Structure 1
Amino acid sequence: MRVVIIEDESKTAKELKSMLEEIDGDIRVEIVLPSVATAIKWLKENPAPELIFSDIQLGDGLSFEIFRDVQTEAPVIFCTAFDEYAIRAFESNSIDYLLKPVTEDMLQRSLEKYLRFKEHLISSNQYLLNLNKVLVQMDTSYKQNILVHYREKIIPIRVADIYFIYASNGVVYVYTGNNKSYPVQYTIEQMEAMLNPQQFFRANRKFILNRDIISNIEHYFNRKLVVVTSYESPEKIIISKVRAPAFLKWMEQ
C-alpha cells in the first residue's frame, strides 16, 4: 500500500510512519511532505498514492488548499488536533478524521475502514479509479496457462497447478504441484492481476496463495495470522492484521 504523509512536525510524522508499518508490513510510506507548497508540487508530479494521511494546519496554510489545487483521487485520512475542520475535511476526499494524539488502534480502525471502502468500490465496479490511478481495471478473463522460460526451454504451466507465487530479491517464482519452482518474467502485481481472485489471494508483498493448498490458519502475535500450507513454503506466510479480515472472508467464500 503506497502511502503519503502530509505533516510539518517531523516527530509526529516519524511516529505515524512507524505505527503504520507496525500495523501492516506491506505499507510503504513513499514520502513525508511538510507543507502545502511541497505537497502540491509532489502530487502534481507523481502518480497518486493509494492513501494520504494529512494534518490540517501546516506552516504555510491549511491542507485543504492542497486538495483544491490538485485533483488527486487518493482518499485522505486527516489527523489533527482540532475538531472544527471536520465538515470541511469530508469535502476533500476524506474517509476519516482522527484527533491527535493518534494511537495505533485509531489507525487500525481507519485502515480497516479504507479497505472496506476499497472492496465495496471494486466489487460494485463503480468509480474504480477513485482510489488509485494505478489500479488496473478488473478483468474477468483470467489466465488458464502461463509460459515460463526455464534454461533452454519454454514450459507451459497450468494455473490450476500453481501452489503459490513467491517473490524474493526481485525475482518472482511459481511453485507447482510437481515439486518444482520456476522464475517468471512478471512482477507479483502482474501475476496477481492474471489470476482469479476467487482462487488466489495476495497474502502479502511476497506471496500469492492458491486456496487449495491451505491446510490451516494459526494466530500470530499482534493479531496477525500465519498460513500453514500442505506444501512447504520458502518462508513463513504471515497475514497482517489489516489484511486478516479480508483473508478470512475470502476463505469462507
Structure 2
Amino acid sequence: MRVVIIEDESKTAKELKGMLEELDSDLNVLAMLPSVAAATKWLRENPAPELIFSDIQLGDGLSFEIFREVQTDAPVIFCTAFDEYAIRAFESNSVDYLLKPVTEDMLERALEKYRRFRGHLIGNNQYAQNLNNVLAQMDTSYKQSLLVHYREKIIPVKVADVHFIYASNGNVHIHTGQNTSYPVQYTIEQLETMLNPRQFFRANRQFIINRDVIKNIEHYFNRKLFVATNYDTPERIIISKVKAPAFLNWMEQ
C-alpha cells in the first residue's frame, strides 16, 4: 500500500511512519511532506497514493488548502487536535480522522477500516464529494466574531475588524480597526484554526495578519520578508525564508 504523510513536525512524521510500517510490513511511505506548498507540488507531480495521512495545521497554512488545489482520489485520514467544527464536518461526511496524540491502536483501527472499505473508496465519486463537502463546511464554520472579556464586560469583536493578532510572553491580544487591543483566552494556535485562511495568515510565532492591512512587502536579509502594515505593530512582522513562498502565493490568491 502506497502512503503519503503530510505533517510539519518531523519527529511526529517519523513516529507515524514507524508505527505504520510496524503495523503493515507491505506498507510503503512514499513521502513525508512538511507543508501545504510541498504537498501540493508533490501531489501534482506524482501518481496518487492509495492513502494519505494529513495533519491539519501546517507551518504555512491549513491542509484543507492542499485538497482545494489538487483533486485526488486517495482517501485522506486527518490526524488532528482540531476543534469541534472539523470533527462535525468529518463525521457528517464519512471522512475519517484521528485525534492527536495518535496511538498505534488508533492507527491499527484506521488501517483496518480502510482495508474493509478500500474497494468502495478508490475511484468513488461519493468519497470525493464527501471530502468537498468537508472543505465547503470548513469555509462557512470560521468565526465571524470573537467574544473578549474587557473591564468587567464581554465585548463581541467582529473578525473583519481584526487587523492582526499578537502573542508575547504567553499573552495573546487581538488588535482592531479602532487601534484598540483586547486580551483573549485563546492561544494563537487556536485562533489560527478559527479564522479563514484565505483572509488571515500565520506570519510567525507572534503574528497572525489580516491581508487587508498589508501596505507593502520588503525583502529582508537572508531571503526573509518584512511586512509593512497600515497600522503600528508591537514589533516588526518578519516572514521566514521557508514561509516566504507560501506567503507570496497567499497574497496573490
- Shorter-normalised TM-score: what interval? 0.5 to 0.7
Matching residue of 1:251: 251
Contact 1:203–1:237 (Cα < 8 Å) also in 2: yes
Matching residue of 2:207: 207
Contact 2:82–2:193 (Cα < 8 Å) also in 1: no
Correspondence for 1:134 among 59, 65, 81 = 81
In structure 2, C-alpha distance between the alignment counterparts of 1:209 and 1:156, rounded to whole Å: 19
Amino acid of the residue matched to residue 178 of structure 2?
A: N
Contact 2:21–2:27 (Cα < 8 Å) also in 1: no
Matching residue of 1:146: 146
> Is 1:91 paired with 2:28?
yes
Matching residue of 2:21: 68
Per-residue deviation at 1:236?
1.1
| Count of matched residue positions in the alignment of Structure 1 and Structure 2 | 170
Q: Any stretches of 5+ residues in structure 2 without a counterpart?
A: 1-7, 43-62, 87-134
Per-residue deviation at 1:134?
3.3
TM-score, with structure 2 as normaliser: 0.57
Matching residue of 2:47: none
Amino acid of the residue matched to residue 227 of structure 1?
A: V
Amino acid of the residue matched to residue 113 of structure 1?
A: A
The aligned runs of 1:1-253 (5 Å cut-off) are 1-4=8-11, 49=12, 51-52=13-14, 67-69=20-22, 91-95=28-32, 113-114=38-39, 116-117=41-42, 118=63, 119-121=65-67, 123=69, 127-129=75-77, 132-134=79-81, 137=86, 139-141=138-140, 142-253=142-253
Q: Any stretches of 5+ residues in structure 1 without a counterpart?
A: 5-48, 55-63, 72-87, 97-106
Q: Which 4+ stretches in 1 moved above 6 angstroms?
A: none
Per-residue deviation at 1:52?
3.4
In structure 2, C-alpha distance between the alignment counterparts of 1:238 and 1:89, rounded to whole Å: 44
Helix, strand or coil for the counterpart of 1:149?
strand
Coordinate RMSD, CA, aligned: 3.3
Deviations 1:71-125 (A, max 9, x none): 8xxxxxxxxxxxxxxxx999224248xxxxxxxxxx9xx9963474555246558
The alpha-carbon distance between structure 1 residues 89 and 182, as it changes in their structure 2 partners (threshold 3 A), is farther
In structure 1, C-alpha distance between the alignment counterparts of 2:150 and 2:28, rounded to whole Å: 53
In structure 2, C-alpha distance between the alignment counterparts of 1:89 and 1:217, rounded to whole Å: 48
Helix, strand or coil for the counterpart of 2:10?
strand
> Identity rate of aligned residues, in percent?
51
